[in-house]
Amino acid sequence: MSRPGAAAPIGVFDSGLGGLTVLRALARRMPEESLIYFGDTAHVPYGSKSPEAIARFSAEVARFLAGRGIKLLVVACNTSSAWALPALRRAARVPVVGVIAPGARAARAVSRRGRIGVIGTEATVRSGAYPRALRALGGGVRVVSRACPMLVPLVEEGWWDGPVAEAVVRRYLAPLRRSRVDAVILGCTHYPYLKPVIARALGPRVRLVDSAAETAAETERVLDRLRLRVPRGRRGRREFYASDSPERFRRLARRMFGRGVTRVRLHPFDA
Ligand code: DGL
């Protein structure tokens, strides 16, 4: 079977709404590219699952997207990038871009004192993927990590601001405030939905790092290198899939991604 060419779409996935923050960055940077998004809403949250389950769900989604003829896969989920990226790369016939290395690079670039906070799901924090990626960049960093398991359900519920979000975020972030970090990586693609709340909780001196823009830049570099870019001019197609409750996903996705989310198709996985 021949490899997908430049006209093929880019596949993007997450456990739910989170990866839409990356999809938006991709659509802004490369509007001419066609994008297929998969929200694995039947299995969200990934962050409290075992590494085996995370790897299995990620592989199922990657297989589905491969079947749609994608030319590149963006793993727009930190949890999946932390635990499943090497296996996805081995199995895929197309290049695979994760969010952790781009996020670490972006943080290293903005942190003046090298004191970097990482917030993410339990599974991402447990993996140690961010401290590893930051140390690999050199220059002596101090990393303070904090798992914030209730933030993904808050975002999936559409509670992106208000007193409940403020209280939960403040409580999770209190230790990071005390440890005087100068940059904090939003190490879960759901967290940019809560960015104003997180910024208020950490105060104006802490830079928030969202890996979406850097991941989009990395995707563009890979496509350029492989000569897989579609010519500029036309606007690419957008397709959305969810593994459960597509109507609910559509309603919330429109709040994030706009009215471009016209239809969300259901693709359930067998149990
Ligand atoms: N948005 C994902 C991440 O970046 C997954 C969150 C979850 O499902 O727990 O980690």
Contact indicator for 104, 81 with CB cutoff of 8 Å = no
Contact indicator for 41, 253 with CB cutoff of 8 Å = no
Ligand 1 pocket member 190 (CB < 6 A)? yes
Residue with tokens 């199922």: 60
Question: Of 22, 36, 70, 77, which is the active-site residue?
Answer: 77
Ligand 1 pocket member 78 (CB < 6 A)? yes
Domain containing 60 equals: 10-98+213-266
Domain presence at residue 57: yes
Do 91 and 138 share a domain, yes or no? no
The H-assigned helical ranges of 30-162 are 51-67, 78-91, 100-110, 122-127, 129-136, 151-156
39: its two tokens? 């929200």
Domain presence at residue 3: no
What is d(CA 120, CA 47) in angstroms, rounded to the nearest whole number? 8
Catalytic site residue 77? yes
pLDDT tens digit at each of 271 positions of the chain: 678 999 999 999 999 999 999 999 999 999 999 999 999 999 999 999 999 999 999 999 999 999 999 999 999 999 999 999 999 999 999 999 999 999 999 999 999 999 999 999 999 999 999 999 999 998 889 999 999 999 999 999 999 999 999 999 999 999 999 999 999 999 999 999 999 999 999 999 999 999 999 999 999 999 999 999 999 998 999 999 999 999 999 999 998 888 889 999 999 987 5
Domain presence at residue 17: yes
Do 107 and 206 share a domain, yes or no? yes
240: its two tokens? 């959305």
Cα angle, residue 125 at apex, residues 120 and 127 outer, rounded to 5°: 135
* Full-model pTM: 0.96
The H-assigned helical ranges of the chain are 20-29, 51-67, 78-91, 100-110, 122-127, 129-136, 151-156, 163-178, 195-202, 212-225, 246-257
Q: Which of 185, 211, 237 is the last residue of a domain?
A: 211
3-state secondary structure of 264: strand
State in Å: Cα 191 to ligand 1 middle.
9
Looking at the structure of the chain, the number of domains it has is 2
The one-letter amino acid code at 167 reads A
Do 203 and 226 share a domain, yes or no? no
Ligand 1 pocket member 189 (CB < 6 A)? yes
- The domain spanning residue 77 has which CATH number? 3.40.50.1860
Do 202 and 106 share a domain, yes or no? yes
Domain presence at residue 5: no
Do 105 and 22 share a domain, yes or no? no
Do 19 and 59 share a domain, yes or no? yes
Ligand 1 pocket member 197 (CB < 6 A)? no
Do 127 and 198 share a domain, yes or no? yes
Contact indicator for 173, 146 with CB cutoff of 8 Å = yes
Do 189 and 218 share a domain, yes or no? no
Catalytic site residue 188? yes
